[in-house]
């Protein structure tokens, strides 16, 4: 089945530093990937839709300059949390569906737990 790889799985950083999270589709091409944020015991909140070769589409209330998304190839999207602060600590998870063919479900990465000290 389709696999989405997300790295790192866990990162701890100091306040003010930037953190990059990678999301790769390993065996399929994905022109669109999605980035979600999840607080403990809460649902997944869609942050942005990542589009290969073009700008990401951000959901209302999500800071574009804080959460930089780059979808440089058909198999890789990155989320960079810039100048991270403790309130950015959260579980971030990416997802994708194959571009070709019709696939119902969304394939998820394993998530990244970000802790900002």
Partner 1 sequence: AQKITQTQPGMFVQEKEAVTLDCTYDTSDQSYGLFWYKQPSSGEMIFLIYQGSYDEQNATEGRYSLNFQKARKSANLVISASQLGDSAMYFCAMREGRYNFNKFYFGSGTKLNVKP
Beta bridge partner(s), residue 108 = 95
Decide if 112 contacts 23 (C-beta within 8 A).
Answer: no
CA proximity to 88, closest of 61, 56, 62, 115: 115
- Rule CB under 8 A: is residue 3 a binding residue for partner 1? no
Least spacing, CB of residue 29 vs partner 1, in Å: 10
Residues 52-81 that bind partner 1 (CB under 8 A): none
Number of residues located near partner 1, criterion CB under 8 A: 28
- Rule CB under 8 A: is residue 30 a binding residue for partner 1? yes
Question: Which residues have C-beta within 8 Å of that of residue 79, sequence separation ≥ 6?
Answer: 20, 21, 23, 35, 47, 67, 68, 69, 92, 94
DSSP state of 97: -
Least spacing, CB of residue 84 vs partner 1, in Å: 19
If the CB atoms of residues 48 and 116 are measured against partner 1, the closer one turns out to be 48
**C-alpha 5: how far from chain center:** 11
Chosen residue from 7, 13, 46, 80 binding partner 1 by CB under 8 A: 46
- Rule CB under 8 A: is residue 113 a binding residue for partner 1? yes
Catalog residues that contact partner 1 under the rule CB under 8 A: 30-32, 34, 41-44, 46, 49, 51, 91, 93, 95-99, 102-108, 110-111, 113
């Amino acid at each position: 089945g389709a696999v989405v790889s997300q790295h790192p799985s866990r990162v701890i950083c100091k306040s003010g530093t930037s953190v990059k999270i990678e999301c790769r589709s390993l065996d399929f091409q994905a022109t669109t990937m999605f980035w979600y944020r999840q607080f403990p015991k809460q649902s997944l909140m869609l942050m942005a839709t990542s589009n290969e070769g073009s700008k990401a589409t951000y959901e209302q209330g999500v800071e574009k300059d804080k959460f930089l998304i780059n979808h440089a190839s058909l198999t890789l999207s990155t989320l960079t949390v810039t100048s991270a602060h403790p309130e950015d600590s959260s579980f971030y998870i990416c997802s994708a569906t194959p571009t070709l063919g019709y696939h119902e479900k969304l394939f998820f990465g394993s998530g990244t737990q970000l802790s900002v000290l």
